C-alpha cells in the first residue's frame, strides 16, 4: 500500500462492494478549510469510481436550504438561541431521512460539511437549551444515525478568522455565527477539542495550519483505511 495515500487499500472493483456506505462529517471553526478539503476528497474518491455525495448543514435538502437562509441571514436570531437550535435540528432530521440515510443504504460515501457536533458546540456554548433538551433534540434530529468518521479541522481562531475574512472578500460581512467575539471562537475551538477527546474512535484531529496538500493526503488515508476495514469486515462476515 502507498504509505501516503493508502490507495492500494481500496482498489477498483473492491470499491463497488462497500455495502453499508460511509458517513464522513467535517467539523471546525471559521476558516479551517473544510470546504476545500471536502472538495479535494470528493474528487479523489470519484476518480476511483466511488459513489460520493457531498452535502452540508444547515442545508442539503430544499427545506434545509430555506432554513439555512433564515438561520445564517440572522432572521431567526431575534427568536432566540432555543428556536435556532430547533431549526437546526429540524433541518438535520429532514437531511438524514431524505438524503443521507438513503445514500448510505445505496452504498454511497457521504461527505457532510458540519453535522451534530456543530450543534453541540455552537448551540451548546450559546446555552440555547438546557443540556438534556439539546440532547433530546439531537436524538430526534439524527434519527439514530451517527457519523462513521468526523474530521475535525483544528485551527487557531486568530488565523481562521483572518482566512475567513480573506475568503469573503470586500463587501460581504460575516454571517450570523461568524460575527461573534474572538473569545467565542476560542471557546468553540476548545469545545470541539473536548468532543474529540471524548470520542477518539470517531474523531480524527487534523491540525489545519499546514499545507493544503498534506492535509488532503492525510484525510484520504484515513478515509481509505476505514473503507478497507469495512470491506474486510464484510468479507469476514461472508457479505
Ligand atoms: P457556513 O457558511 O456553512 O460556515 P462554515 O463555512 O464555517 O461551515 O455556515 C454555517 C454556520 O452555521 C457556521 O457558522 C456554524 C453554524 N452552525 C450552527 O451554529 N449549528 C449547527 O448545527 C450547524 C450545522 C451550523
Yes or no: say if 27 and 153 are a contact pair by the CB < 8 Å rule. Answer: yes
Q: CA 10, CA 22: separation in Å to the nearest integer?
A: 13
Q: CA 176, CA 139: separation in Å to the nearest integer?
A: 25
What pLDDT score does 10 carry?
A: 46
> Which CATH number is 27's domain given?
3.40.50.300
**Per-residue pLDDT reduced to its tens digit, 52-90:** 999 999 999 999 999 999 999 999 999 999 999 999 999
**Per-residue pLDDT reduced to its tens digit, 158-188:** 999 999 888 887 667 888 887 888 999 999 9
Q: What is the mean pLDDT of the chain?
A: 91
Tell me, using a 6 A CB cutoff, whether residue 122 lines ligand 1.
yes
**Per-residue pLDDT reduced to its tens digit, 182-200:** 999 999 999 999 999 999 9
Q: Which three cell numbers stand for residue 110?
A: 457521504
Structural domain span for residue 62: 2-236
Examine the pLDDT at 1 and tell me if it is beyond 70. Answer: no
Examine the pLDDT at 4 and tell me if it is beyond 60. Answer: no
- Name the pTM for this structure: 0.92
Tell me, using a 6 A CB cutoff, whether residue 218 lines ligand 1.
no
Q: Which three cell numbers stand for residue 5?
A: 495515500
Total tally of structural domains belonging to the chain:
1
Q: How far is the CA of 202 from the centre of ligand 1 (A)?
A: 20
Q: How far is the CA of 37 from the centre of ligand 1 (A)?
A: 16
Amino acid at each position: 500500500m502507498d504509505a501516503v495515500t493508502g490507495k492500494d487499500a481500496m482498489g477498483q472493483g473492491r470499491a463497488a462492494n462497500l455495502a453499508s456506505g460511509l458517513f464522513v462529517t467535517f467539523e471546525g471553526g471559521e476558516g479551517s478549510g473544510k470546504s476545500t478539503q471536502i472538495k479535494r476528497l470528493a474528487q479523489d474518491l470519484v476518480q476511483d469510481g466511488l459513489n460520493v455525495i457531498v452535502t452540508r448543514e444547515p442545508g442539503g435538502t430544499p427545506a434545509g436550504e430555506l432554513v439555512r437562509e433564515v438561520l445564517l441571514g440572522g432572521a431567526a436570531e431575534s427568536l432566540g438561541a432555543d428556536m435556532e437550535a430547533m431549526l437546526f435540528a429540524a433541518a438535520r432530521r429532514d437531511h438524514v431521512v431524505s438524503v443521507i440515510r438513503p445514500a448510505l443504504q445505496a452504498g454511497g460515501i457521504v461527505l457532510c460539511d458540519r453535522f451534530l457536533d456543530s450543534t453541540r458546540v455552537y448551540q451548546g456554548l450559546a446555552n440555547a437549551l438546557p443540556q438534556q433538551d439539546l440532547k433530546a433534540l439531537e436524538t430526534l434530529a439524527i434519527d439514530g444515525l451517527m457519523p462513521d468518521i468526523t474530521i475535525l479541522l483544528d485551527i487557531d481562531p486568530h488565523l481562521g478568522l483572518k482566512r475567513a475574512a480573506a475568503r469573503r472578500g470586500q463587501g460581504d460581512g460575516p454571517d450570523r455565527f461568524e460575527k461573534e467575539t474572538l473569545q467565542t471562537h476560542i471557546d468553540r475551538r476548545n469545545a470541539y477539542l473536548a468532543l474529540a477527546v471524548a470520542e477518539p474512535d470517531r474523531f480524527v484531529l487534523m491540525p489545519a495550519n499546514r499545507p493544503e496538500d498534506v492535509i488532503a493526503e492525510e484525510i484520504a488515508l484515513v478515509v481509505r483505511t476505514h473503507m478497507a476495514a469495512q470491506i474486510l469486515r464484510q468479507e469476514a462476515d461472508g457479505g
